[in-house]
Amino acid sequence: MKIALRVNGEAREVECSPWKRLLDVVREDLRLTGTKEGCGEGECGACTVMLDGEVVNSCLVAAGQCAGRDVTTVEGLAHGDLLHAVQRELVACGGAQCGICTPGIAVCAAHVVDRGLATSRDQVRELLAGNICRCTGYQLIVDAVMKAARDR
């Protein structure tokens, strides 16, 4: 089916099965490969995108469900060369290592910071609990999100 949706503020159209995963639409049809696949089961959060303003695992969303919806991927967080505060702080704090989980963490953290939900380290840990990192541990990531929340 033809699916018209907004991606990172732009009107886009794809033609695919309504059963195709949003994750695959984003990576294959839209060539936005910043979004990564980790587990494909909604456990790891690597494929996190925003859908109508909420964070979701894009591996669990059917393409048909995205018709007329608004999607923001990690590519949509920065404005040109100007990084989102959480991206800047993830770089500054060293809150990344191998990088597979980083796009999902950036999207989830941007949502959390922009909504004013990053009120404490405990709160950030709970809200980011759906994003699993197997390299760094979470200390530097939480540092980055708290700094980004303070910057804004």
Partner 1 sequence: MTEYVRPRALDEALAVRAAHPDYMVLAGGTDLMVNANHKREPAGIIDLWRLPGLHAITTSDDHIAIGAGATWLEIQRHPRVLERYRALAAAAREIGALQIQARATLGGNVGTSSPVGDSLPALLAYDADLELASVRGRRRVPYREFCTGYRKTQLAADELIVAAHLPNPDPSSTTRTAWRKVGTRRAQSISKVMGAAMIDLDRDRRVRWARIALGAVADRPIRITAAEDAVRGLPLAEAAEAAREATIAAIAPIDDVRSTSAYRREVAGNVVAYFFSGIIS
| Residues near partner 1 (CB under 8 A) | 1, 17-21, 24, 40-43, 45, 48, 54-57, 59-62, 64-65, 67, 108, 126-132
Residue with smaller CB distance to partner 1, 61 or 74: 61
Pick 18 or 137: Cβ nearer partner 1 = 18
- Asked if residue 107 lies in contact with residue 74, where contact means CB atoms within 8 angstroms, the answer is yes
CB of 121 to partner 1, least distance (A): 15
Q: Alpha helices, DSSP H only, in 3-115?
A: 22-24, 85-93, 102-114
Sheet hosting strand 10-15, strand order edge to edge: 10-15, 2-7, 70-72, 48-51, 54-57
Give me the least distance between CB of 93 and partner 1, in Å please. 21
> What is the secondary structure of 5-35 as a DSSP string?
EEETTEEEEEE--TTSBHHHIIIIIS--TTS
CA distance 115 to 5: 23
Q: Which is nearer to partner 1, 15 or 81 (CB)?
A: 15
Provide, rounded to whole angstroms, the least separation between the CB of residue 80 and partner 1.
Answer: 28
Beta carbon nearer to partner 1, 18 or 94:
18
What are residue 33's phi and psi, to 5 degrees? -95, 10
Shortest distance in whole angstroms from residue 82 CB to partner 1 = 26
